[in-house]
Amino acid sequence: MPVVTLEDFARSFGTTAEDVREKCADRIAQSNFSYTLIEGAERDALILSILKRIEEDRQVIGAPERQKVWDKGWEENLNDFIGSGYDLGTLVPRFIRRGQPVRFNADYIQPANPAFELDYFAVFRQWLFKTYFSSISHVYEFGCGTGFNLVALAQLYPEKRLFGLDFVTSSAELVNRIAEHHRFNLSGHLFDMITPDRSFALEKGSAVLTIGSVEQLASKFEAFVEYLQEQPVSLCVHVEPTIELYDENNLVDYLAIRFQGKRGYTRNLLPHLKELEKAGKVEILKVKRLYFGSLYMEGYNCMVWRAVRQA
């Protein structure tokens, strides 16, 4: 049975095997990354089920009713967190599903480990945090949801000052409950990325993080990017589905394009950043497709940039 190797992780993240070993060997050792490639009739059946799901899907990203859905969803996590005696394991978002096939190297695989997607993401997240946030004192996650990314960052770097921002009250309350009961250097705040509050000032030299939150803006991201350019931050790190990175001539990629396009997940963030770079307003430090994702799309692509400060 094949297994994801250090070299596989390195190609996925856009780095070296030695770098992955140095930053993530402990996290990799905790998980089973073996899998089987889905082939033949089984693959055909899976593709058919995905096509049917795309046809039947009625979710529209950015629709007004989605705010109530998110508020209710994070409230469920809040209630689970309190009811469990403040167990951090209850913070895993429900959209990370266990036991499903996943996307890997532009194909479908069946992991031996039901938590393969979550564990692979955890390795990537640890590599990302150690690579970009080790020398940063303040980190702001916009669209933080349950706060489970901030918890991972707080456990890795307890000395850092962390901020979780989201547009629904249940998320901010959950983040503050986490901070209170686990004594993390963390606070939750309300913030609407579509209509940013320019009076909310970010610390000089800080970093901004989004993980699967710009995707929910239905391409209404320009005001948020402008806000980030105005702030004295040193780095902006996005982990988002990026439709422009797919190969439309690959069937597995094409299905993801269809799925993301029908739902209306954000597109054009990467082209927008490239236009800003061409105008001398930002510098793009990294763009990397991970070639890894959930059953229906790849949501973990990486973009890192910073604003160019005028003299």
Is position 278 within any domain? yes
Q: DSSP string spanning 195-256? A: S--TTSPPPTT-EEEEESSGGGGTT--HHHHHHHHHS--SEEEEEE--GGGS-TTSHHHHHH
Is position 164 within any domain? no
Q: How many domains does the chain have?
A: 1
pLDDT in tens, 36-79: 999 999 999 999 999 999 999 988 887 776 777 777 888 899 99
pLDDT in tens, 112-124: 999 999 999 999 9
Is position 14 within any domain? yes
Adjacent-strand bridge partners of 296 = none
pLDDT in tens, 91-116: 998 889 999 999 999 999 999 999 99
Per-residue pLDDT at 311 exceeds 70: no
Q: Torsion angle of alpha carbons 75, 149, 234, 196, nearest 10°? A: -20
Q: 42: domain range?
A: 6-60+92-143+191-307
Is position 250 within any domain? yes
Is position 171 within any domain? no
Average pLDDT for the chain: 96
Is position 99 within any domain? yes
Is position 70 within any domain? no
Is position 54 within any domain? yes
State the average pLDDT over residues 177-201.
97
Percent of the chain at pLDDT > 90 equals 91
State the average pLDDT over residues 127-148.
97
How many degrees, rounded to 5, is the angle at CA 289 between CA 293 and CA 70?
50
